[in-house]
Structure 1
Amino acid sequence: MTERILDVVPPRAEPASPPATPAPPVRYPRVRLRWAITALLVVVACVAPFQLAPFRVFQLTMVLVYALALLGLNLLVGHAGQISLGHGAFFAIGAYTSAVMLEHWDAPYLLTLPAAMLVTFGVGFGLGVPALRLRGLYLALVTMTIAIFLVPLLKRFESVTGGSMGLTLSRPRPPAWTGLAEDQWLYFLALAVTAACGVAVWCLLRSRVGRALHALRDNETAAEVMGVRLSRYKTLAFAWSAMLAGAAGAVNTWVIAFVSPDSFTATLSIMLLAGIVVGGLGSTFGPLLGGAFVLFVPTLAQGVNQAAPGVVFGVLLILIMYVAPTGLAGLAGRAGRFAIQLRRKK
C-alpha cells in the first residue's frame, strides 16, 4: 500500500534557481580609444599656440578654418550621401557677409558669425530644392556651376564687394584681460567656433535626424518606405552643410583680414571635396585631417616642383588614396585596432 501511494505522489519539484544577474556591459575598446584621442587633441590644441612660432600658429588656425568647412561637407557627403562641388561658394558667401558687415556697417566681428551662418543657411536651403530631383554627377555639376558663377558676380558689384581688388579689413584685437597675442587670440576664436560646431554635429548625428540621414545615404527607397521624408532631410542637409561652410568663411575673414573673388574660385570647391575624401568620409576626425591636407599638401607640392605643382599634388593624392582608400581616419582606425589586437594577445 505504501508503495502505491509513493507511486501516485509526484516528486517534489526542485527550487527554481534565481535568475542570473546580467553581466555589466563591457565598453568597446575602440570607444575608449576614441575618447582618449579626443582628450589628447584637446590638450594639444590648448597648449600649441603657446609653444609655436606665430607663423605656425597661423597655419594651425587655417587648419581649423578648413576643418570647419569640411565638417559641413562631411555632413552632406559622408552622412547624407549627396555630392557637392560648390562648397567654395558657400565659403565665399560667408566670408563676404562678414567682410561687408565689418567694412560698411562697422559691425562687431562676433556678430558677423551668426549673420554669415544665417545667410548661407538660406542659400543652402534654396540649393537643396534641386537636390530633390538630382543625384550623383548631375547634382555635382549643378553645385559646381554655383561656384563658377559666383566669382564674376562678386566682381560686378564693386561698390559693395570691392570688385577685383577685394576688401582689406583689420583683424580682431584680443581683449586686454586675456593677455594673448593677436595670432593666439585668432587661433582660440577659430578653435572655439570649430569645437562648438563639431559638438553640435556630433549630437545631431546621434539623434533621430542622424539616423534619417544615414538611411537616406544607404538607400533612398528603403528610407522613404520607413517614413523618412526625403525632401525635408535633403534640403536640411544642404542647409546645415552650407551654414557650416559659411561659418568657416566668416572665421577666415577674421584671420586673413582680406577677401577677394579670386580667392574663392572653383578650385577651392574641388580642394575641399578632395580634402574630405582624403580625411575620411563619415569619420569623426576626417574633417580635421582633411583640413591639414588642404593646407599643407599644396604647399608641399609647390616646394617640390614650382614648375608643375599640380602634377606633384595629383601624385600625392593618388598615393594617399592607394595607401588609405577609406581616408586617413580609416588608416588611423586600422592602426588602432591592430594595436588593440596586439594588446589582447599579450
Structure 2
Amino acid sequence: MVQQTERPAARPAPPLTRRLRWRPRSTLARHGLAVLLALVAVVVVVETTSPFRNSQLATMSYYAIAAAGLTVLTGLNGQISLGHGALMAVGAYTTGLLLGPDGEGAPPLPLVMLAAAAVTALVGAVVGAAAARLHGPYLAGATLALAVAVPGLAIYFDHPLGGEQGLRIASPDVPDWFDAAIWFLFAHETPGAKYLAYLGWGTLLLVLLLLANLMAGRVGRVWRAVRDDEVAAELAGIRLGRVRVLAFVVSAACAGLAGAVLGVVVRLAAPSGFTIVLSLGLLTAVVVGGLGSLTGALLGSALLVFLPPAVTNLGIGAGLDGTQAAQLAPFVYGVVLVLVMLLAPSGAVGVLKTVWGRRRRSPR
C-alpha cells in the first residue's frame, strides 16, 4: 500500500489580510471608496471649523490640485517643471475673463472651470511639445522662462488682462440645491467661505480619483518606464516624445483647474500672485511630501499652507514683532526642506511607509 502523507495544515491568514478582505478588487472601486471616505472626512472638518480655517482649507485645495498634477509630471514621468505657477495663471485669467467682475451673463461655474482646464491643457501641449527633447536643467530652465514670461504678458496686455491690478473675479453664489442639502443635514445656511472650501475640496477629490486611476493603469506604467530607463522604454516601442507631451498636458490641465479654483477663492487674477515663488513652492511641496505620490502632494500642500501661519504665531508668542515673525516662516520652511532632503529623500510618505513596514514586521 502506498502510504499517504498528511498535508500540512493551512496557515491562518495574517490579521491584516483578514481585515482587508472586504476591500473591492477593482482598482476603480477601491479608489472610489477611498474618495467617498475622504469626502465624509472633509464634510466633518469643514462643518466643525471656523471660517478662517475654511479659507485655509480652500487655499490648500488649489495648492494640492496643482501639486497633484506636478506629481504626475515630475514624480511619475521625471520631467522637472518650474513653470506651474504660470500655468495656474492661465487658468485663473481664463476664469476671470469668462466670469467677469460681477458674474452677470457668465456660463455656469463648472463649465468655466472645464474651459480653464482645457485652455491650460492646450498651452501645456504647446510647451510640452517644445520641451519634449529637453532634459534635466535644460527643461527646468525652459519652464523657468515660462514662469517669468507669463506674468509679464498680463502686464503688457493691460487692457484685456487688467495690467498690474489684475482681473476681479466674481465670487460664485451658493447653488440652491447645495444650500438645501446642507440645511437638511446640519440645519444651517452655507456661508461663502464654507462653500468655497467645499468647492475646492470637491474638485480636488475628483482630480485625485482621476489621477489615481490613470497612474494605476497602462499610462502610469508607461510614464514610470520612461522615467526609470528611457533607452529600455524606447527599445520596447514607447514613443518618448508623445509620452512626455501627454504627461505635460495632464499636469497642465490640473494646474489650470487649480488656477480656476484660486481665482474664485481669491476673487482676483493678478501677476503678483503667480511669481516664480509659487512655482518653487509647488515643487517644494511635491518633494517634501514624496515624489510620485498623490498622498505626498496632499501632505506637502498642507505644510505649505499651515506651517507659515503656525511659525508666525510662535514667533509673535516668543516676543518677535510682526515683520520678524513673518520673515521667520520661510526660514523654517527652508530648514524643513533641507532636513527632508538629507534625512528622508523619499519624503513624508516614504517615512510613513517605512514606519508602517517596521510595525508590520515586528513580532507581537
Q: Structure 2: how far apart are the matches of 1:41 and 1:150?
A: 35
**How large is the RMSD of aligned CA atoms in angstroms?**
3.0
Matches within 5 A, 1:121-136: 121-136=121-136
**Number of the residue aligned with 1:50:** 47
Aligned counterpart for 2:354 among listed residues 320, 327, 334: 334
C-alpha change, 1:24 and 1:88, in structure 2 (3 Å) is farther
Give the structure 2 partner of residue 141 of structure 1: 141
- 117 and 329 in structure 1: CA distance in 2 versus 1, 3 angstrom threshold: same
Match of 1:240 among 233, 244, 250: 250
Q: Does 1:281 align with 2:297?
A: no
Report the CA distance between 1:86 and its aligned residue. Answer: 0.4
CA displacement at 1:116 relative to structure 2: 0.7
Sort the Cα spacing of 1:243 and 1:257 in 2 relative to 1 into closer, same or farther, 3 A: same
Correspondence list, 1:189-338, <5 A: 189-303=199-313, 304=315, 306-307=323-324, 308-309=327-328, 310-338=330-358
* 2:347 partner amino acid: G
2:69 to 67, 72, 75: 72
| CA–CA distance in structure 2, aligned partners of residues 338 and 123 of structure 1 | 45
Q: Is the 8 A contact 1:92 1:246 kept in 2?
A: yes
The corresponding residue for 1:97 is: 94
Distance in 2 (alpha carbons) for counterparts of 1:40 and 1:302: 33
- Deviations, residues 219-248 of structure 1 (Å, cap 9, x unaligned): 000001111111110100001101101000
CA contact (8 A) 1:301 1:313 kept: no
TM-score (norm 1): 0.86
Separation in 2, partners of 1:297, 1:137: 29
> Could you tell me how far apart the structure 2 residues matched to 1:24 and 1:183 are?
51
Structure 1 position 321, deviation (Å): 3.3
Q: Structure 1 CA distance, aligned partners of 2:4 and 2:236?
A: 43
Aligned pairs, how many? 331
Residue range with higher mean Cα deviation, 168-177 or 33-42 = 33-42
One-letter identity of the residue aligned with 1:133: R
Taking the aligned partners of 1:68 and 1:28, their CA distance within structure 2 comes to 32
Aligned equivalents of 2:92 and 2:212: distance in 1?
25
Deviations 1:120-139 (A, max 9, x none): 11111111123322100110
AA matched with 2:49:
L
User: Counterparts of 2:15 and 2:159 in 1: how far apart (Å)?
Assistant: 59
Alignment-derived partner of residue 185 in structure 2:
none
Matched to 1:327, the amino acid is: G
Is contact 2:226-2:233 (8 Å) kept?
yes
TM-aligned CA deviation for residue 294 of structure 1: 1.8
Shift of 1:115: 0.5
Check conservation: 2:155, 2:164, Cα contact below 8 A.
yes
Are 2:140 and 1:120 equivalent residues in the alignment? no
Larger radius of gyration: 1
Sequence identity of aligned pairs in percent? Answer: 36
Whole-angstrom CA distance in 2 between matches of 1:242 and 1:28: 39
Q: Measure how far apart 1:108 and its partner are.
A: 2.5
Partners in 2 of 1:24 and 1:237 — Cα distance?
44
Q: Counterpart of 1:155 in 2: which secondary structure?
A: helix
Amino acid at match of 1:95: A
Can you give the 5+ residue segments of structure 2 that lack an aligned partner in the other structure? 24-29, 180-188
Question: Cα offset for 1:182?
Answer: 1.6
Structure 1 residue identity aligned to 2:131: A
Note the C-alpha offset of 1:69: 0.4
Query: 1:324 and 1:120, CA in 2 relative to 1: closer, same or farther beyond 3 A?
Result: same
Structure 1 pair 188–28 and aligned structure 2 pair: CA distance change class (3 A):
same
Measured in 1, the distance between the counterparts of 2:35 and 2:116 equals 28
Distance 1:24 1:258 in 2: 60
- With over 3 angstroms needed to count, the CA separation of the structure-2 counterparts of 1:16 and 1:91, relative to structure 1, is farther
User: CA distance change for structure 1 residues 284 and 28 in 2, over 3 Å: closer, same or farther?
Assistant: farther
Superposition TM-score, scaled by structure 2 size? 0.82
Give the letter for the 2:170 counterpart: S
Q: Distance in 2 between matches of 1:200 and 1:26?
A: 32
Structure 1 segments unaligned to the other structure (5+ residues): 1-11
**Which residue identity does 2:259 align to in structure 1?**
G
Q: Is the 8 A contact 2:67 2:282 kept in 1?
A: yes
